Structure 1
Amino acid sequence: MESLGDILKAWPSGEQILRIAEQKRTELLKDPLIISLRQKHPALTDAAINVNMNRLHQYVSEHRNCSQCPGLDQCPNDFAGHYTMLQVEDMNGTAQIIDKKVSCKKLRARQHENQLRSRIRSFYVDDKALKRNYSADEIIGNDLERAKSVGELLKYIDRTKTEGLTAKGLYLAGNFGVGKTYLMCFVLQELAKSGYSGVIVYMPDFVEDLKVLMHEPAKLKETVDLMKETDLLVFDDIGAENLNPWVRDHVLGAILNYRMERKPTFYTSNYRLADLESHFSFTNKDGEEHHKGRRLMNRVAPYVDELVVTGKNKRGKL
């Protein structure tokens, strides 16, 4: 075990500390960033430099960290996702160095992604579908068979970005696993970039959950109001749910009745649009009710354009 005397002897003396500090100062002043700063602001005196050595050191070290960025989650800077910028301002005839924290590109990109995601709510839809980074080239390239329907989606997106929302949405029909939900998530993400809010609802699970919400009127009203007011509403896999009269007439009917002249509603389904009425007409309680099926269908069909999505079953690949 070392004695206290041995430890004290190992510590650098005052002269050694000054020598080390002077060496660090010399190295710092030779750094290209500091050379550039002094060239840009020739009014900076040696005294101003000496007073701000800590600021200069942090400025240089954080820029070095950023040049070898290990990723936002492992950011070594004092304030994660930020780096120090220096400004030189004239104060009473003397150049003063002012430091400020600036967010980096990676942080701004993450904040932008989070902002987009905050505009989209999902009910019973896998969050992975909404967190993907979509691109039109990838979507077409994954399956050229659906190029035509993707083209129509892109036209719809461009038209909405240019002209704003209309009351007309889209009805994506197709076989299992051809990517209908995938395509609708792409639409929601693209329009979220223009500030539009969206909700996507997986119908089979939503209808089952409504049976519980019947006994929680405040939560039910909050959910229905959200679906009424959101800019873009997607009913995913409509036709796969087990309807009862209350869900059909008092929930779906109320939502669609509110939206049909105001905001677009979108659907994905294994049914063609013309076949959806028979699904709406049958409930597990009252059997066939053609009049009520037609009434609900009258709030769907006039307010969508049908797109048939073809292609291969990609379940487990998207």
Structure 2
Amino acid sequence: MMTELEKVMLEDVEYSYDPEKEYIKDGHAFCKVCHERKDGKVMEFFDNKMIFKISCKCDRDRDAREKERQKQMEIERLKSSCFNSIIQWSYTFENYQGEENQSLIIAKNFVKKYEEMKKENIGLLFYGSVGSGKTYLACSIANSLIEQYRISVKIRNFSQIINELQKGGFDFDKNAYIESLVNTSVLILDDLGIERDTSYAKEQVYNIVNNRYLKQKPTIFTTNLSYDTIVNCTESMEYQRIYSRIIEMCIPVMVVGEDFRKAIQKDKLNRNKDRLLNGGERS
């Protein structure tokens, strides 16, 4: 039930206030919690004088909390749209367990210099052996871009894209699906080279890559292929066209290191082993 407002004359102008939240002292209204003044200057509108309320510390704190809540909801929505797995939400620079190497520095600075990269349409091509941490770095970039800039980012692999296009039902709009990938602010295409070697698959890969190139949208790729294989492609003309575009769009970044997935799993097992040894308490 709402408290009935009371009225008082301040500077010869009627002022309404909630006695449970404000008190009157020395001709002004004050917040009962932070004791900051609540009545503003007397304003005149069409020969009528009015007093508008001003924000006190309690109001500002409440607004800040609401703003932060809305921000976190937006971040959660963007991450839900971005990632295929909830575990990728934890793939961050803060949780990175490898050495501070060149690939990590470049990944961090891509986020820091994102506006410049966007303007120049510069993407990244992470290449290296299986388990070296390419996907982890790409997801770390995605998490940071979403948290810092609150932009749309998507991570998909080509096999997943082709499967979606081929299994779509009658109500599946293939063009809209492709457009959603082409138009997202930053697209991460994971595991380049594992897509099906069919004309249809290669055509879809090229369409996505080429349209993002034409629309000046930064794209990040990860691949187990060597950079030499991409640069000196001797396969079909379709692959040559795809790789040529990627070379134009992306800075090549070699990712080296121990098997990243094994390192993460080893750390997880060790932490839980310690918990069990400590009687179930968190270590």
TM-score range relative to shorter protein: 0.5 to 0.7
89, 92, 113: which is aligned to 2:72? 113
> Whole-Å Cα distance in 2 between the matches of residues 248 and 165 of structure 1?
28
Question: How far 1:307 sits from its partner (Å)?
Answer: 0.8
Amino acid at match of 1:307: V
Question: How far 1:92 sits from its partner (Å)?
Answer: 8.9
> Whole-Å Cα distance in 2 between the matches of residues 85 and 133 of structure 1?
44
Question: How far 1:164 sits from its partner (Å)?
Answer: 4.0
> Whole-Å Cα distance in 1 between the matches of residues 234 and 164 of structure 2?
19
264, 267, 272: which is aligned to 2:218? 264
Task: Name the counterpart of 1:30.
Answer: none
203, 220, 230: which is aligned to 2:174? 220
Question: How far 1:245 sits from its partner (Å)?
Answer: 1.7
Amino acid at match of 1:220: K
What are the within-5 Å matches in structure 2 for residues 141-156 of structure 1? 142-144=97-99, 147-156=101-110
Task: Name the counterpart of 1:87.
Answer: 38
Is the aligned partner of 1:53 residue 2:19? yes
> Whole-Å Cα distance in 2 between the matches of residues 242 and 113 of structure 1?
38
Q: 1:56–1:208: structure 2 CA closer, same or farther, 3 Å change rule? A: same
Question: How far 1:172 sits from its partner (Å)?
Answer: 0.7
Provide, for residues 24-46 of structure 1, a one-character-per-residue CA deviation record: whole Å limited to 9, x for no partner: xxxxxxxxxxxxxxxxxxx79xx
Provide, for residues 235-271 of structure 1, a one-character-per-residue CA deviation record: whole Å limited to 9, x for no partner: 012223334321211x212112212242222111222
TM-score by length of 2: 0.66
Provide, for residues 118-159 of structure 1, a one-character-per-residue CA deviation record: whole Å limited to 9, x for no partner: 4567466213423x4844xx356x211x52111122333333
Is the aligned partner of 1:255 residue 2:208? yes
Amino acid at match of 1:176: V
Aligned-pair identity in percent equals 16
**SS of aligned partner of 2:192:** coil
Q: Report the number of matched residues.
A: 238
Q: 1:293–1:161: structure 2 CA closer, same or farther, 3 Å change rule? A: closer
What are the within-5 Å matches in structure 2 for residues 102-141 of structure 1? 102=60, 103=62, 105-119=64-78, 122=81, 125-130=84-89, 132=90, 134-135=92-93, 138=94
**SS of aligned partner of 2:260:** coil
Structure 1 unaligned residues grouped into runs of 5+: 1-42, 64-83, 282-289
Question: How far 1:203 sits from its partner (Å)?
Answer: 3.0
More helix by share: 1
Is the aligned partner of 1:209 residue 2:148? no
**SS of aligned partner of 1:170:** strand
- Alignment check: 8 A CA contact 1:280 1:297 kept: no
Q: 1:121–1:243: structure 2 CA closer, same or farther, 3 Å change rule? A: farther
Question: How far 1:53 sits from its partner (Å)?
Answer: 2.6
Q: 1:195–1:172: structure 2 CA closer, same or farther, 3 Å change rule? A: same
> Whole-Å Cα distance in 2 between the matches of residues 229 and 252 of structure 1?
15
- Alignment check: 8 A CA contact 1:278 1:293 kept: no
Is the aligned partner of 1:170 residue 2:136? no
191, 207, 210: which is aligned to 2:145? 191
TM-score by length of 1: 0.59
What are the within-5 Å matches in structure 2 for residues 284-303 of structure 1? 290-303=236-249
**SS of aligned partner of 2:120:** coil
Is the aligned partner of 1:246 residue 2:200? yes
Task: Name the counterpart of 2:260.
Answer: 314
Larger radius of gyration: 1
**SS of aligned partner of 1:172:** strand
- Alignment check: 8 A CA contact 1:173 1:272 kept: yes
Q: 1:86–1:248: structure 2 CA closer, same or farther, 3 Å change rule? A: farther
Question: How far 1:104 sits from its partner (Å)?
Answer: 5.1
**SS of aligned partner of 1:165:** helix
Amino acid at match of 2:19: M
- Alignment check: 8 A CA contact 2:118 2:217 kept: no
Q: 1:312–1:187: structure 2 CA closer, same or farther, 3 Å change rule? A: same
